[in-house]
Amino acid sequence: MPAPRQTDPTVTPDAQTPEATLTTPATAPGTADTTAPSRGIVIDEAVPQRLTRQQFTVIALLLGSAFVVILNETTMSVALAPLMTDLGITASTGQWLTTAFMLTMSVIIPATGFLLQRLGTRGAYLLAMSLFSAGTLLAALSPGFGWLLGGRIVQASGTAIMMPLLMTTIMTVVPPAIRGKVMGNISIVMAAAPALGPAISGIILDALSWRWVFGIVLPIAVIALVMGFLYVRDVADRTHSRLDPLSLFLAAVAFGGLVYGLSSIGEAARHAPPVAPWIPIVVGLLVLGAFVWRQLLLARDDRALLDLSVFRFRGFSVGLAIMAVGMLAMFGSLILLPLFLQDAMGLEPLATGLVVLPGGLLMGLLGPTVGRLYDRVGPRPLVTPGLVVVTIALALFTQVHADSSPWYILALHVTLSLGLAFMFTPLFTSALSSLTPPLYSHGSAAIGTVQQLAGAAGTAMFVAVMTTRSVALMEDGATAQVALAEGVGDAFVWGAAIMLVAVGLSLLLRRVPASPEGEGAPAAH
């Protein structure tokens, strides 16, 4: 290690070494950073460890807006049946309202690292909420399925920008000493919002048409847009890099192909889809290789659409791998439980939403508490027990059957949610804290992209296993309800087995120092 450099306290950071510019709000002014002397950074011990009023306002608006856009994602699961009747479409056609949403997200999220750096906090927020509001209006007033599908695609475009924007902003302005506590609030968005979606949709549909699922969200989105116009300001410097059209095209084909192919696996288990799932998956993988090669070339001149150097940071790569497995289990269970509760146990849509509601609310409410614990003990003491609890819950789900009590299912889902609550906040915080500030936006984009791929893979795996087993049992004379329950049990066997891999990976986690360079990770480009 080079000898510590002597720093003249009378010289401003700009007049010192280039490394001194790392003294930003994200490097926790006011904390005793043990790595500071060796980097020649002057730390002002008098700066308080809290957010300014403007920073607090920006984060609060981003949290509220992200809650609304994520809530919208899961409302379609309950609204699909009445929507099919009203528009005269089949289930396979109606599913495109969800598939197209996921495809759009997977195509746009890889580019959000570039967008956030180019547009800044204010520009990205206004673009995200404008797109979401316009898509919601179009969906509410749509005269037919085509217009509704278009509205969902525009909505997804705004949603894809919002979550990376929220995470990047928190990592930029929040000091490391309280970062876990603030990042814990993201759990309210990521857990409570999806859980509330089906329940709120069921309540609306009990009295109103499916259009009001969008109509009630619209004024909230417009208010958020106006508030952002008035109060959101840039909290980080913009860059003026140029967009590489070829990278954007490769990302769209690669990630779009993978998500579409994975999503089609479940459909293929029921009946032959228009395109065999392996075709878009293989095309997606080949083009993904070309995308990676292109980004590595552009990174030499700092022009990459998605800076892949984030994966050189050990803490980021390990955290993201565990997160992907957790997302696979969460999305797989979210897609299977409503099917099981309604088709095997005969519950109404509203009752189905209420069964999964407590677990989602528990995840959201525990988020800030888990975040504070992370600030004290780091990721491993929280993530490893959380993964063990998730594995146990998935193992118990293998024993469900058509005559199971809804209260038993509710208890298992709450247990599953408890384990997930102790996973996601530490993993998000640990992974992004492993990066240097210039890479926060690219790290957020990488996390969002992996989320979409893991969600599609989890849905594909759980649905394919369930359907294959159910079809085989019905051919042997079993009733549809019994066959479905057995298929769900088999799917959760696979989920529990995969979570054991994540338990092993969690042992590689370690607490991230105040500076990623202290971890021995490579410096950002």
DSSP, residue by residue, 272-294? --SS-THHHHHHHHHHHHHHHHH
The pLDDT of residue 128 is above 90: yes
State how far the Cα of 36 lies from the Cα of 20, in Å rounded to an integer: 9
Confidence of residue 519 (pLDDT cuts 50, 70, 90): very low
418: phi then psi, degrees, rounded to nearest 5 = -60, -45
Q: Report pTM.
A: 0.72
The crossing angle, in degrees rounded to 10, of helices 440-475 and 96-108 is 150
Domains of the chain with CATH codes = 1-49 (no CATH), 53-243 (1.20.1250.20), 306-520 (1.20.1250.20)
The pLDDT of residue 9 is above 80: no
86: phi then psi, degrees, rounded to nearest 5 = -70, -40
pLDDT value of residue 522: 46
Residue 168's alpha-carbon distances to 81, 172, 174, 438, 522, in angstroms, are 37, 6, 10, 10, 20
pLDDT value of residue 271: 60
State how far the Cα of 261 lies from the Cα of 493, in Å rounded to an integer: 23
| 77: its two tokens | 């699961």
Confidence of residue 126 (pLDDT cuts 50, 70, 90): very high
Buried b vs exposed e over 214-240: b needs ≥16 C-beta within 10 Å? bbbbbebbbebbebbeeebeebbeeee
Lowest mean pLDDT among 16-20, 245-249, 482-486: 16-20
Confidence of residue 127 (pLDDT cuts 50, 70, 90): very high
Residue 189's alpha-carbon distances to 154, 186, 217, 368, in angstroms, are 20, 5, 16, 12
Lowest mean pLDDT among 182-191, 220-229, 377-386, 485-494: 182-191
Is residue 13 a contact partner of residue 1, using CB atoms and an 8 Å limit? no
